[in-house]
Structure 1
């Protein structure tokens, strides 16, 4: 029975899932955004965010051995030396002012071949404030009333 199993199995074995998440994380770090199925994107998000947090902690580490340990822990997960090198050397600086929430998922339409729900997962930019609601437009009646009130005292 699968009681209290929180992780999405993605229809593959544990080893296949670990390799798939590792490869997708390396691609996301390298390219900044990838297109995948919605379920895989939702599984990838916490995986990548934990690796980015390790990179941020390594940058703040006072002792070199702590930074090396965090780098090896991240390399255990992602298993791509080039991706980890670029993340730990350059890309972690984009997330210094952000506490979590390093990725964003955009939902796309269904894939044409099998109607799977597709999504884009990408890194959030450093200066991105996220979604903002547009300012409510004042109704025409309120605007006319305000201009009439301003014009009356001047006369």
Structure 2
């Protein structure tokens, strides 16, 4: 979670130095391109807290705690879309 938050903050800066830091951390230029061009602009007005952790319980095989990590903005847009579709019907 903390890595995702830091990467979005770098993406919001949008500078060449921030892009190089993200490439050094993530090691994939395509992933950094998506982060800077698609994900980070959606969080321009948000100061922090870009992700949400939902606990899923424990895995049967080794009893490891499982979680679902999701973007805050994406889930709100999905909920708004469902409400609009329900109102249209």
Shorter chain as denominator, the TM-score bin is 0.7 to 0.9
2:27 alignment partner in structure 1: 79
Question: Which contiguous aligned blocks of 4+ residues in structure 1 show a shift greater than 6 angstroms?
Answer: none
1:96 alignment partner in structure 2: 44
RMSD, matched Cα:
1.5
Q: C-alpha offsets along residues 35-92 of structure 1, whole Å, 9 cap, x if unaligned?
A: xxxxxxxxxx11111111011011xxxxxxxx11110011111111111001111211
Q: Does residue 57 of the first structure (1) align with residue 5 of the second (2)?
A: no
5+ unaligned residues in a row in structure 2: which ranges? 77-89
Instruction: Output the CA distance in 1 between the equivalents of 2:75 and 2:23.
Output: 28
Q: For 1:105, which of 43, 53, 63 is the aligned residue?
A: 53
Instruction: Output the CA distance in 2 between the equivalents of 1:119 and 1:90.
Output: 24
1:118 alignment partner in structure 2: 66
Structure 1 pair 127/115, CA: closer, same or farther in 2 (3 Å)? closer
Pairing of 1:5-154 with structure 2 (within 5 A)? 45-58=1-14, 67-125=15-73, 128=76
Structure 1 pair 99/127, CA: closer, same or farther in 2 (3 Å)? farther
Structure with the largest fraction of helix:
2
Structure 1 residue 118: Cα displacement: 0.6
Instruction: Output the CA distance in 2 between the equivalents of 1:77 and 1:53.
Output: 13
Structure 1 or 2, whichever has the larger Rg, is 1
SS at match of 1:125: helix
SS at match of 1:106: strand
